[in-house]
């Protein structure tokens, strides 16, 4: 029968049901309005007009319109408020003072870096993130990878800004480049096969996955992302839809953010870094529209994941509302900054209290010295030991009657510890805290630190002259301002391998792990060759 359209008020075909009405509009086509939404529709004409534009835009692009429930009406009411905030931001941002603009961007950048990485398990605190990115200082004694990950993410943010300022719209190559910047260099990662077996896989930054990356949920079910062989095609489709969505004027911004974000994560195109890449892309959208970026806070991780899980079942509204809340938060922050008002938040006092408590608990290890210690361990010591342990064990067990390998740590304060796994990654944090990081710790002459490994080969049983022993000692010595490295066969230094590196040059120096290990092994083989032939190394 004929009746007034509840959205436009115009004459249309209406079919009433118990829980809904079906509208066949001459201009907007067919759509359904749930009965619980009807009382709210006449409230504001701007809300009805916004819904009408969305329906028309969806029809134009061949997209089905879901039933208009009360939740959708409430969403569009909030979108009207969002539109007003965007208009105010657009007006005020043109007049914002450079100092306030810098403060706003600094805060958003810190929040973005900290929260996006914290969601994925990065252990740096907010204050440590600020120290690292603003002052290039570290504290906390975290794994080196956490520091490198944070710095790489900061570079990716700046690259996202450049992409957004470009006249060209985001491409698949750009997406892969973002992932490449985030992950920096290839690495091996432990994984679990779909049937629950442990495995390892090589992660190549910027390369689409070559192995399935499905995950098991807490209920034990297998949640399947796109298969590796279908990923290139699906990503081509996704980028086409993303670029198309950017051009749709009546596409509600939070809905576009939610749907494109979920679509990307549903594919999960990379072996690692998918979440961080997806959040960079979401902020590309906002920066492209000259809006401040959102910050998906780690304290809201459960709500964020719940929104994604709802989207998996076809319910996009929870994630849309989540995106809307975040856009409103960042716009409010930006408008306050543009007005010259404080952009401090209530939880900023929590951060200040943390610093105050730390200051009153007495001196802590020098952050820069702790960073040097971890850098030496993770870049120089551990990679070499990992390679040598296996090589020396095979060498010793096949050519000698007895073999042993022992890691050790010594300090000039007479603290020492030794054992087969003292310098293992799992042991490092505890060993460091117990034996090195005393209150007021600094690297200096009065507290020299030596990390090392000693391999003992007893009773050569190979060809030719038999029965001799060999001792191989490798040591890293941390002194004031300098890292020393030496290799000894028995008690004699091996020429050409000993070196000294100033701490200020550690970042620019290649650890030369492959070359160092190869050189040590060749010296060891040469020594056995000399000894077994009855001669002595000159």
What percentage of residues in the chain have a pLDDT greater than 70?
88
Q: How many residues are listed for the chain in this entry?
A: 538
pLDDT at 349: 55
Q: How far apart are CA 448 and CA 516, in angstroms?
A: 23
Q: How far apart are CA 380 and CA 141, in angstroms?
A: 16
- Coil, helix or strand for 470? strand
Q: How far apart are CA 111 and CA 456, in angstroms?
A: 51
Per-residue pLDDT reduced to its tens digit, 430-487: 888 888 887 767 776 456 889 999 999 999 988 888 888 999 999 999 887 788 899 9
Q: Per-residue pLDDT for 360 more than 70?
A: no
Q: How far apart are CA 80 and CA 50, in angstroms?
A: 8
Q: Across residues 190-205, what is the average pLDDT?
A: 70
Q: How far apart are CA 259 and CA 242, in angstroms?
A: 9
- Coil, helix or strand for 466? coil
Q: Per-residue pLDDT for 364 more than 60?
A: no
Confidence of residue 345 (pLDDT cuts 50, 70, 90): low
Handedness of CA 389, 393, 395, 401 (dihedral sign): positive
In 413-469, beta strands by DSSP E: 416-419, 449-460
CA 12 to chain centre: 52
Among 12-16, 71-75, 141-145, the minimum mean pLDDT is found in 141-145
Average pLDDT, the chain: 86
Highest mean pLDDT among 66-70, 194-198, 362-366, 430-434 belongs to 66-70
Domains of the chain as residue ranges with CATH: 2-68 (no CATH), 92-351 (1.10.3290.10), 367-532 (no CATH)
Among 44-58, 179-193, 220-234, 518-532, the minimum mean pLDDT is found in 179-193
Handedness of CA 60, 63, 66, 67 (dihedral sign): positive
Residue 477: beta bridge partners? Answer: 450, 484
- Residue 476 contacts residue 381 (beta carbons within 8 Å): yes
pLDDT at 322: 97
Q: Per-residue pLDDT for 398 more than 80?
A: yes
SS3 content of the chain, % helix, strand, coil (to 5): 55, 15, 30
Among 7-21, 162-176, 271-285, the minimum mean pLDDT is found in 7-21
- Coil, helix or strand for 315? coil
Q: Per-residue pLDDT for 351 more than 60?
A: no
- Residue 440 contacts residue 454 (beta carbons within 8 Å): no
Closest CA to 174 of 193, 160, 187: 160
pLDDT at 453: 93
pLDDT at 444: 63
DSSP 8-state code for residue 224: P
Q: Which has more pLDDT, 213 or 355?
A: 213
- Residue 186 contacts residue 204 (beta carbons within 8 Å): yes
Q: Which has more pLDDT, 508 or 141?
A: 141
Closest CA to 276 of 198, 102, 162, 159: 159
Q: Across residues 484-494, what is the average pLDDT?
A: 89
Among 33-42, 241-250, 355-364, the minimum mean pLDDT is found in 355-364
Closest CA to 438 of 369, 504, 374: 369
Q: Per-residue pLDDT for 536 more than 80?
A: no
Q: Per-residue pLDDT for 159 more than 80?
A: yes
Q: Per-residue pLDDT for 348 more than 70?
A: no
Q: List Cα–Cα distances, 460 to 176, 395, 396, 469, 470, in angstroms.
A: 53, 11, 9, 6, 9
Per-residue pLDDT reduced to its tens digit, 50-107: 999 999 999 888 888 999 999 999 999 999 899 999 999 999 999 999 999 999 999 9
pLDDT at 363: 47
Q: Across residues 240-258, what is the average pLDDT?
A: 95
pLDDT at 506: 74
Q: How far apart are CA 107 and CA 113, in angstroms?
A: 10
pLDDT at 361: 54
Q: How far apart are CA 162 and CA 184, in angstroms?
A: 18
Q: Across residues 215-240, what is the average pLDDT?
A: 86
Q: Which has more pLDDT, 222 or 78?
A: 78
Closest CA to 145 of 383, 494, 305, 501: 383
Q: How far apart are CA 249 and CA 501, in angstroms?
A: 58
- Taking each helix axis from N to C end, the angle separating 317-338 and 98-119, rounded to the nearest 10 degrees, works out to 150
Residue 460: beta bridge partners? Answer: 400
pLDDT at 105: 95
Q: Per-residue pLDDT for 339 more than 60?
A: yes
The gap between the terminal CA atoms of the chain, to the nearest Å, is: 107
Q: Which helix (H) or strand (E) holds 179?
A: helix 172-183
Q: Across residues 269-286, what is the average pLDDT?
A: 96
Confidence of residue 195 (pLDDT cuts 50, 70, 90): low
Instruction: Give the burial string for 463-482 (b: 16+ CB within 10 Å, else e).
Output: eeeeeeebebbbbbbbbeee
Q: List Cα–Cα distances, 406 to 314, 454, 456, in angstroms.
A: 57, 5, 9
Per-residue pLDDT reduced to its tens digit, 308-331: 999 999 999 999 999 999 999 999
Q: How far apart are CA 166 and CA 160, in angstroms?
A: 10
Task: Count helices and strands (H / E) in the chain.
Answer: 16, 15
Q: How far apart are CA 33 and CA 45, in angstroms?
A: 17
């Amino acid at each position: 029968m004929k009746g007034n359209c509840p959205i436009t008020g115009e004459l249309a075909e209406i079919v009433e049901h118990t829980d809904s009405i079906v509208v066949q509009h001459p201009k907007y086509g067919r759509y359904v309005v749930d009965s619980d939404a009807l009382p709210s529709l006449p409230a504001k004409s701007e809300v009805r007009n916004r819904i009408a534009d969305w329906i028309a835009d969806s029809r134009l692009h061949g997209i089905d319109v879901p039933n208009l429930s009360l939740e959708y009406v409430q969403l569009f009411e909030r979108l009207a408020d969002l539109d007003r905030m965007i208009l105010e931001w657009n007006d005020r941002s043109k007049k914002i003072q450079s100092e306030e603009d810098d403060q706003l961007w600094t805060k958003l950048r810190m929040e973005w870096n900290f929260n996006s990485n914290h969601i994925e398990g990065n252990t740096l605190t907010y204050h440590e993130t600020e120290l690292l990115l603003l002052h290039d200082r570290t504290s906390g004694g975290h794994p080196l990878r956490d520091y490198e990950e944070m710095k790489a993410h900061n570079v990716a943010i700046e690259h996202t800004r450049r992409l957004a300022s470009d006249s060209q719209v985001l491409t698949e190559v750009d997406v892969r480049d973002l992932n490449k910047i985030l992950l920096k260099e290839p690495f091996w990662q432990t994984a679990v096969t779909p049937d629950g077996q442990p495995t390892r896989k090589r992660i190549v930054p910027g390369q689409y996955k070559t192995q399935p990356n499905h995950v098991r949920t807490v209920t034990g079910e297998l949640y399947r992302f796109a298969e590796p062989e279908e990923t290139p095609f699906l990503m081509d489709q996704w980028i086409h839809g993303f670029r198309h969505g950017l051009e749709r004027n009546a596409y509600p911004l939070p809905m576009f953010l939610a749907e494109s974000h979920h679509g990307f994560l549903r594919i999960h195109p990379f072996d690692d870094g998918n979440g961080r890449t997806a959040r960079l892309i979401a902020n590309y959208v906002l920066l492209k529209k000259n809006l401040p970026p959102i910050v998906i806070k780690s304290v809201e991780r459960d709500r964020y994941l719940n929104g994604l899980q709802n989207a998996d079942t076809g319910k996009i509204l929870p994630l849309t509302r989540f995106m809307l809340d975040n856009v409103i938060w960042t716009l409010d922050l930006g408008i306050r900054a543009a007005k010259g008002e404080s952009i401090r938040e209530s939880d900023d006092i929590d951060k200040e209290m943390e610093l105050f408590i730390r200051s009153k608990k007495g001196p802590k290890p020098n952050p820069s010295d702790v960073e040097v210690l971890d850098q030496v361990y993770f870049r120089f010591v551990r990679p070499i030991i990992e390679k040598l342990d296996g090589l020396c064990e095979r060498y010793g067990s096949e050519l000698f009657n007895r073999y042993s390998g022992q890691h050790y740590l010594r300090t000039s304060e007479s603290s020492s510890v030794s054992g087969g796994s003292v310098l293992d990654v799992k042991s490092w944090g505890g060993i460091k805290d117990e034996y090195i990081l005393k209150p007021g710790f600094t690297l200096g002459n009065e507290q020299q630190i030596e990390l090392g490994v000693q391999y003992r080969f007893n009773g050569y049983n190979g060809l030719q002259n038999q029965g001799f022993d060999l001792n191989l000692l490798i040591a890293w010595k941390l002194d004031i301002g300098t890292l020393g490295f030496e290799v000894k066969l028995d008690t004699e230094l091996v020429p050409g391998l000993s070196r000294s590196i100033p701490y200020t040059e550690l970042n620019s120096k290649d650890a030369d792990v492959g070359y160092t290990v190869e050189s040590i092994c060749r010296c060891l083989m040469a020594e056995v060759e000399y000894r077994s032939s009855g001669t002595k190394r000159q």
